[in-house]
Amino acid sequence: MTSLSVLSGGAAQGLVASIATKFNAQTGLDLAGEFGAVGAMAQKLRQGMPTDIVILTAALVAKLVEEKLVVASSIADVGLVETALAVRQRDPLVMVRDEADLRRALLAADAIFLPDTETSTAGIHVAKVLAQIGIADAIAPRLRIYPNGATAMRHLAASDAVRPIGCTQSTEIISTEGVVLSGALPVGYGLSTMYTAGVTTQAANPRQAQALINLLTSADARGLREHAGFLSGAN
């Protein structure tokens, strides 16, 4: 037993990494696992991947509790994450105050980097927004879709497009070198998602998994949560 197995949405990857050293000092375990689109991570758990702890959207964790895959008494909210816009570090910020600004910014971009529009929280939301503001068909050829937000942001950072833009969860933008947070989506089109952690019912290390949840949600970790992009959470 040398590591704790984690399945998590990409939104929490930076936060988990920031607390890994403290967790190791407390438990003697390293952290290992996968970070990606929440739907894909939940499916891995359902398919039997050995997992001690999940960090996914609150709604999805609730479903996993119903499916008897996560221990109900273990769950705790980590914090809220906004879906936001990103640009390359060398590019000017894109100011989006309302629907007209959002439509203008997306239509002006020659490449738009997104996470999976069927399994990721941000990707699903952005697809709905594009349809809502009536530009889904117009910009479809410019969409650059990747399995998760972190991968999408790495490709945005390396893009040679003239006017690229990205849209994913703020935590994934903040934790990716070469891109910067340009701002949240405007009122009426934004999304704040609560992320929740829970110990799996088949955990090999349930005590250590609960210890990680306690660290992630502790008052002492407030600064780490805020630095990683979580707006609010436990304590």
Instruction: Give CA torsion, residues 187, 194, 44, 116, to 10 deg.
Output: 10
Q: In total, how many domains does the chain have?
A: 2
Cα 223 to Cα 115: distance, rounded to the nearest angstrom = 27
One domain for residues 19 and 110 = no
Residue 33's pLDDT is what? Answer: 87
Whether the per-residue pLDDT at 173 is higher than 80: the answer is: yes
pLDDT in tens, 6-41: 999 988 999 999 999 999 999 999 999 899 889 999
235 in a structural domain: no
Per-residue pLDDT reduced to its tens digit, 42-94: 999 999 999 999 999 999 999 999 999 999 999 999 999 999 999 999 999 99
Q: At what angle do helices 58-66 and 38-46 cross, to 10 degrees?
A: 20
Give the pLDDT of residue 1.
60
| 57 contacts 38 by C-beta, under 8 angstroms | yes
Global pTM reads 0.84
Q: Is residue 233 part of a domain?
A: no
DSSP secondary structure letters along 30-54: EEEEEEE-HHHHHHHHHTT---SEE
Q: Would you state the pLDDT for residue 233?
A: 47
Lowest mean pLDDT among 120-134, 139-153, 219-233: 219-233
40, 147 contact by CB (below 8 A): yes
Quick one: 109 and 155 in the same domain? yes
- The answer to whether 100 and 131 have CB atoms below 8 angstroms apart is no
Please check whether residue 209 is in contact with residue 53, taking contact to mean a CB–CB distance below 8 angstroms: yes
Could you tell me the pLDDT band of residue 234, with boundaries at 50, 70 and 90? Answer: very low
**Both 75 and 92 in a single domain?**
no
Check residue 194 and give its pLDDT.
95
Q: Are residues 74 and 150 in the same domain?
A: no
Cβ neighbours of residue 187 under 8 Å, at least 6 residues apart? 98
- On whether both 76 and 114 belong to a single domain, the answer is no
Question: Could you tell me if 53 and 20 lie in one domain?
Answer: yes
Are residues 91 and 172 both part of a single domain?
yes
Q: Mean pLDDT, the chain, as a whole number?
A: 94
Whether residues 18 and 72 fall in one domain = yes
Contacts of 47 (CB under 8 A, 6+ apart): none
How large a percentage of the chain has pLDDT more than 90? 92
CATH of the domain at 106: 3.40.190.10
Q: Residues in the chain, how many?
A: 235
43 and 106 belong to one structural domain: no
53 and 72 in a single domain? The answer is yes
Same domain (yes/no): 33, 69: yes
For residues 177 and 117, state if they share a domain. yes
Q: What is the average pLDDT across 139-157?
A: 96
Question: Per the domain annotation, does 169 fall within a domain?
Answer: yes
Q: Would residue 234 count as lying in a domain?
A: no
Percentage of the chain exceeding pLDDT 70: 98
Domain range for 25: 3-80+193-228
